[in-house]
A = this chain, B = another copy of it.
Amino acid sequence: MPNIQRLNTADADFWPRLETLTAWEGVADEAVTAVVRDILARVRTEGDAALLDYTHRFDRLDAACAADLEIPAERLRQALATIPTERRAALETAADRIRAYAERQKLASWTFTEADGSVLGQQVTPLDRVGLYVPGGKAAYPSSVLMNAIPAKVAGVPEVVMVAPTPGGALNDLVLAAAAVAGVDRVFTLGGAQAIAALAYGTATVPRVDKIVGPGNIYVAAAKRQVFGAVGIDMIAGPSEILVVCDGLTDPDWIAMDLFSQAEHDEDAQPILISPDPAFLERVAASIERLLPEMARRDIIEASLCRRAALIQVRDLAEAARVANFIAPEHLELSVEKPEELLPLIRHAGAIFMGRYTAEALGDYCAGPNHVLPTSRTARFSSPLGVYDFQKRTSIIHCSPTGAAALGRTASVLARGEGLTAHARSAELRSQLVDNP
């Protein structure tokens, strides 16, 4: 049975122990970095030929030509038509809710006119083309296809290009059906760093994109980090985490299962429970012990619980909020009687699941908000994936002659203060000021 770490805020070494518990270094493996650098360089110079070679080597897939790496749209529609009806309905329900929530996030352009007739504003436009990485094998999640592609389409991105490795040629019909539901425009059977390279630089067959999103293994993460700048990327995710704050009155089986739902993702996933009630912490520990043997992924769950889980006793819920703010969790469940009273104390979290009924799993699939969330304490400074990640802003400045003259006087003083006289003169020319180089 898992030996779960116990912490208590009353202990003198609580905060350093909490820091150690939650520390996660996305170790930049030098060997991986070097391998990825070579793959990126080769795809950049050799294009399709390099793609075919790497796909043959890493995915045991022999395509006659690069065009064969594309899955035709008809195949996506066919997947959607042939999966079980119940699953198709669930995908479509989830997609509708994700889309409806995303619509509310959409940024709009604005302008305003000043007294002298000058116009200032901010123009919002979608990205031209976005790449979506979908991992192959055990982590091929149709829900991730919905969560990454739908906000891009809501933003108005004309072309969403998906890449997914298909080791040995095995296609995942649920993933293809999700791509059809989400409105993905093109799909290529490509994976690893070579897929990221193709999206970042373009080849004769794979179009170059402006931003790459989606999860992947360490090679994919290293490749995304290296192409950042040439294209935009989303966050590089660490292991998934859940922090449950409970007043001690929720069914302990519910809480145990919520912790499992995070732990089953991977051995490094981090499930943490905080409660002011020490007896409740023990009841949840007992539920964990009783329920664990029933779980399909019990080995992964047990590893996660032993390595990275904790049961934390606090003095009261206000202190629980302070601990939560330190952790800045990806997922925060406020499993308490009046979550709305606790909410104002929370400054940092990816998503907050309020009340006893809001299981995190609902948010993972279909509540509407995105399940791509900041991990490893990065919710201190970053946000869930959203429509805004597929839009960008452009400042608009349109000075009237009067406005230009007034601004020109201020700009001239500051530019000369910085020793930038061409700036000053450029402003002065419009202000009809005397030239004074």
Which residues does A use to contact B, with CB under 8 Å? 26, 86-87, 89-91, 93-94, 101, 104-105, 110, 112, 119-120, 122-123, 125, 127-128, 138, 141-143, 174, 210-211, 229, 231-232, 236, 251, 253-254, 257-258, 260-261, 263-265, 294-297, 301, 339-340, 343, 346-370, 373, 376, 378-384, 386, 388, 392-401, 403-404, 407-408, 410-411, 413-415, 417-427, 429-430, 437
Contacts and interface: CB of A to CB of B under 8 A. Distances in A.
A294 B398 CA distance: 29
Contacts of A361: 411, 415, 423-424, 426-427
Contacts of A381: 127, 210-211, 231-232, 392
Contact of A397 (B354, B376, B408): B354
B378 A408 contact: no
A197 to B, nearest CB: 15
A354 B384 CA distance: 34
A90 B384 CA distance: 39
Contacts of A423: 261, 264, 361, 364-365
Nearest to A416: B87
Given A119-B354, A365-B407, 6 more contacts: A105-B122, A351-B394, A361-B415, A363-B395, A369-B395, A369-B396
A142 to B, nearest CB: 7
A430 B370 CA distance: 21
A125 B349 CA distance: 10
Most buried by B among A112, A363, A420, A426: A426
Given A295-B421, A378-B229, A395-B351, A367 B93 contact: no
A379 B377 CA distance: 28
A360 B407 CA distance: 11
Nearest to A367: B397
Given A379-B394, A381-B211, A426-B359, A421 B297 contact: yes
A319 to B, nearest CB: 18
B351 A404 contact: no
Given A120-B368, A365-B414, A408 B359 contact: yes
Contacts of A396: 343, 351-352, 354, 369
In the A-B complex, the 3 residue pairs with the closest CB atoms = A369-B395, A232-B381, A354-B398
B231 A408 contact: no
A82 to B, nearest CB: 14
Given A90-B410, A414-B91, A417-B174, A263 B397 contact: no
B426 A367 contact: no
A142 B417 contact: yes
